[in-house]
Amino acid sequence: MFISSERTHTIPHAEPRQGRAWQLCVAPMIDVTDRHCRYFHRLLAPKARLYTEMITTGALLHGDVARHLDFNREEHPVALQLGGSDPAELAAAARLGAKWGYDEVNLNCGCPSERVQKGAFGACLMAEPTLVADCIKAMQDAVDIPVTVKHRLGLDYDDSYGFVRDFVGSIHDTGCRVFIVHARNAVLKGLSPKDNREIPPLRYDMAARLVSDFPDSIFVLNGGLADTNNSLQALKTFHGVMLGRAAWHTPGVLSALSVELGHVDEAPSDEAVLQAMVAYAAEQTQSGVPLRMVVKAMLGWQNGRPGARRWRRMLSDQAMLKNNDPQLLRAAWAELA
């Protein structure tokens, strides 16, 4: 059950007038929320806050920076999510993000994958709140944009509220005032990342206690928000909602929420979105981007509509995609009833 409360906010490193900026967010999802996906989501939700996939500090400091950080100007507001645990490296990566024009830098303290565990970051960091505080402080000293945290409620099977309260408290002491709470524990051994999104129970009531205990902070709820109704219900308690798999499997929910939240007067027509994506696909394929990369975020867009299966099949057909012809989108659209 969600608990309503009165709230007043003073937000260092996130100006007070930005309080509504986190009202609707799309979660960082590995192999999903690339710049093409974010461009599509922006068409559906003009004021949603969009997050990159988690990008490790090593990838930025020793890899192709432009490949990882380039984005379309239409994506604003867009946040860079970083994975790492070394304060100096995170500060350097945050500087790159700010230089590139990102509106926020977010530290991942919630991913439970084996790869992340081997690197001793992601959800592992929740066991080291002092180190996380050092990382946040280093990033705050390096950039002028908001530095935020995405975390779980706990690790493994420790369900105590004190654990997450003390973790948030340590970060709060740095001046960080924006927390994205995936309202489940992260089980580090025995569960896959997919299982970690589904098996640990959701505990919205515990996440709501953070709202009461840190009244000068913004808390965005993540986890299990599958549709418009439960997102609106969550917003009675939390300052924002972050949708992950729902935005991927049924992206139309972003348009519906944008209308309900007053971000737009009416949702864009499907035809207008299609036309924009055809134009975008033409621009991208001309610059060498494979069409499959552009259209993969659109596969679930027409779910529930007659012909949606044919839509998905055509946009997944490797032979058709190999031609890199943006008109494939129009051909698939013609299959919808």
pTM here is 0.92
How high is the pLDDT of residue 71? 95
Spatial separation of the C-alpha atoms in residues 123 and 335, rounded to whole Å: 43
User: Is residue 147 scored above 50 in pLDDT?
Assistant: yes
Mean pLDDT for 229-250 is 96
Going from the N-terminus, what domains does the chain have, and what CATH number goes with each?
16-260 (3.20.20.70), 270-333 (1.20.120)
Q: Pairing mode, if any, of strands 147-155 and 178-186?
A: parallel
pLDDT at 225: 96
Q: What is the residue-averaged pLDDT of the chain?
A: 92
Reported as a single tens digit per residue, the pLDDT across 181-211 is 999 999 988 788 888 888 899 999 999 999 9
Q: Once rounded to an integer, what is the mean pLDDT over residues 277-291?
A: 97
Residues sharing a CB contact under 8 Å with residue 200, sequence separation 6 or more, in sequence order:
184, 185, 186, 187, 191
**Whether pLDDT at 5 is above 50:** no
**Dist CA 280 CA 301 (whole Å):** 17
Known catalytic residues are 111
pLDDT band at 118 (very low <50, low <70, confident <90, very high): low
**Res. 8: pLDDT tops 60:** no
pLDDT of the residue at 19: 55
- Is the pLDDT at 12 greater than 80? The verdict is no
Burial level of 225, CB count in 10 A (0-12/13-18/19+)?
buried
The whole-number pLDDT of residue 7 equals 30
**Mean pLDDT, range 94-117, rounded to an integer:** 90
The CA distance from 229 to 248, in Å, is 17
pLDDT of res. 47: 96
More confident residue, 192 or 34: 34
Residue 269 pLDDT greater than 60, yes or no: yes
Q: Is the distance from CB of 50 to CB of 77 less than 8 angstroms?
A: yes
**26: pLDDT strictly greater than 80:** yes
Write out pLDDT tens, residues 149-184.
999 999 999 999 999 999 999 999 999 999 999 999
pLDDT given at position 255: 97
DSSP assigned state of 25: E
Kindly report the CA angle at 215 between 213 and 216, in degrees rounded to 5? 130
Least confident interval from 9-23, 108-122, 157-171, 242-256: 9-23
- pLDDT, residue 15, reads 41
- Predicted confidence band of residue 115 (pLDDT cuts 50, 70, 90): low
| CA–CA gap between residue 274 and residue 190 (Å, rounded) | 42
The span from the CA of 142 to the CA of 285, in Å, is 36
| Predicted confidence (pLDDT) at residue 291 exceeds the cutoff of 60 | yes
Which secondary-structure segment (H or E) carries 241?
strand 240-243
- pLDDT recorded at residue 113: 76
117 falls in which pLDDT band (50, 70, 90)?
Answer: low
pLDDT of residue 80: 98
